[in-house]
A and B are shown apart, each in its own frame.
Chain A
């Protein structure tokens, strides 16, 4: 395949993002809004000052993790669509730690919150993997339903034992200052958690491509039969993959609670799991791709929110943009495949 084509094809996800944004822009015409104007303002807002620009990465940090949660399991051809629930369980674990153990100094409390969220999310996820391994249950269904159970647990705890001391709204008290992840850039919302998320992405890459476990995971993902014949215990892989995947989603809770919100509000961030799926697909289930896709979604959120707050553009446009971007990325996979096949056929004919 010649160079020009390869470059063109490598940029396919970028074209498809533009196509998705163009389609969403067309929707704005229904409200007599000028899409170019709206997008122009979105970009202007996102890069207006350090606060907004840094906010893109603050928003991206948990999205990287929920993206990894889906992407990591996808490599084993398992479908963890319950990242939302694992995220909430992680939130509950970290906020409980931060509220009840606030006598501990920050350098112990923060790692503790980190570990608690990862462990809780991981355990919640591992249950799905266990159901799959032990009972051959459909992991898609179970992970889907587990989210609704996690929401019930969260609502119950926030209305009951964890409710704020005023007892007025379904939310927890604000966590102690030393339980908050330190800022990366002062006077913005960007905290060290973003770098931590990058580190976790690097770890996911390392595990998947540089370790025996990763080889087993990918082998199970590519062909379960041959993996079994090669002596890989697939059931063990199911549990481990869901444990790790759930831990990623749980960590996203640590980022949101200890990094940005500093409390837990009932039903906050209700789409972070679904957005993770979109991000994983856009990033081709590769950690590097996921990081870039998460930053793009972060920018859409920051720019989108600002435009929504300052003009008559409704907030539902953000969901439309995410949906259309996902759909056009899927279409681009199809087109890329067609082009690659056509090029190879041509090459074969020439030889």
Chain B
């Protein structure tokens, strides 16, 4: 029972990390670091909640989260890819803007409610027969739609990235943009398109927290989870399989911290249990020596002679 609970929570908590980190892998493979990931998560959480609350439809919530991601991505992509401004600086600006904007617009829509507004959670969808399996059944086959989507996206991401021409173009845009250009493909368009797609995924990942997990929206609903996804992309070596493993490890850390906090074990202070994922990231970043960094990561592509 205990193991089953932990496993179920692990898979649940790793869902948004999988989606977000995979998005980061795709976009970083083209040579753009999406520093705005934390802000995009938050906009997705906000839009998912607002869409679902106003229309009463979770589908609309998910679609609004994607839309919010696309808009944030368009802003970030336009400034970094086309105007070639610094990615860390632009991303930080968006990350400062996002919480202000989300809270402000929440106020515009709902005023100051006495109690936090709530929506129903995305329902869990049990897969017939498989969900009855012992131990793993509930964890892997009785989750909400985003969890299934996350696993599907990981598989699709791996396939697209390494087995298709699109994937080749994406990888080359970050490894050798001149070659992509010479082949007659517009590097900026590849990068911009991938930023938008990745941010749409980030929006979904953010919506997981508001309409898939808590059922409400608060200012610190993301609380650095976007950064964890960002880190998983690094630690997973820019590979969807690495993302899968990394997300499950961090999901486990998240699940354990919930268990430890609620179990009344006072050996380790709560504060440090909450900090486990962040400490884990630091240790992993230091321990991991060989990275497969995309060669042009963070460097805007400027055509010669412009």
Whether A320 is near chain B, meaning CB under 8 Å from some CB there, is yes
Please, which residues of chain B bring their CB within 8 A of the CB of A137?
285-286
Are A31 and B285 neighbours in the complex by a CB distance under 8 Å? no
Given contacts A81-B92, A140-B88, contact A149 B79 (CB under 8 A): no
Q: Who on chain A is nearest to B82 by CB?
A: A334
Q: What is the interface of chain B mostly: helix, strand, loop, or mixed?
A: helix
Please, which residues of chain A bring their CB within 8 A of the CB of B92?
81, 274, 277-278, 281, 326
Are B269 and A319 neighbours in the complex by a CB distance under 8 Å? no
Whether B144 is near chain A, meaning CB under 8 Å from some CB there, is no
What does the 1/0 interface line of A196-216 toward B look like (CB < 8 Å)? 000000000000000000000
The distance from the CB of B220 to the nearest CB of chain A, in whole angstroms, is: 9
The complex places the Cα of A324 from the Cα of B98 at a distance, in Å, of 10
Are A148 and B275 neighbours in the complex by a CB distance under 8 Å? yes
B22-36 interface with A by 8 A CB criterion = none
Whether B224 is near chain A, meaning CB under 8 Å from some CB there, is yes
Are B93 and A136 neighbours in the complex by a CB distance under 8 Å? no
The distance from the CB of B250 to the nearest CB of chain A, in whole angstroms, is: 12
What is the interface size of chain B, counting residues whose CB is below 8 A from a CB of the partner? 42
Of A55-63, A89-97, A151-159, A251-259, the one contacting chain B is A151-159
Are B104 and A314 neighbours in the complex by a CB distance under 8 Å? yes
The distance from the CB of A115 to the nearest CB of chain B, in whole angstroms, is: 27
Are B85 and A319 neighbours in the complex by a CB distance under 8 Å? no
Are A281 and B89 neighbours in the complex by a CB distance under 8 Å? yes
Q: Who on chain B is nearest to A322 by CB?
A: B96
The complex places the Cα of A333 from the Cα of B90 at a distance, in Å, of 12
Please, which residues of chain A bring their CB within 8 A of the CB of B238?
none
Residue of B79, B227, B279, B285 near A327 (CB, 8 A) is B79
Please, which residues of chain A bring their CB within 8 A of the CB of B285?
131, 137-138, 141-142, 145
Are B278 and A314 neighbours in the complex by a CB distance under 8 Å? no
What does the 1/0 interface line of B268-303 toward A look like (CB < 8 Å)? 010110110011011001110100000000000000
Between A and B, 28 residue pairs with Cβ closer than 8 Å are: A30-B108, A131-B282, A131-B285, A131-B286, A137-B286, A138-B285, A141-B231, A141-B234, A145-B231, A148-B224, A149-B278, A152-B271, A156-B271, A271-B96, A275-B96, A277-B92, A278-B96, A317-B100, A319-B96, A319-B99, A319-B100, A321-B100, A322-B97, A323-B101, A326-B93, A327-B97, A330-B85, A331-B79
Measured CB to CB, the residues of B under 8 A from A are 75, 79, 83-86, 88-90, 92-101, 103-105, 107-108, 224, 227, 230-231, 234, 269, 271-272, 274-275, 278-279, 281-282, 285-287, 289
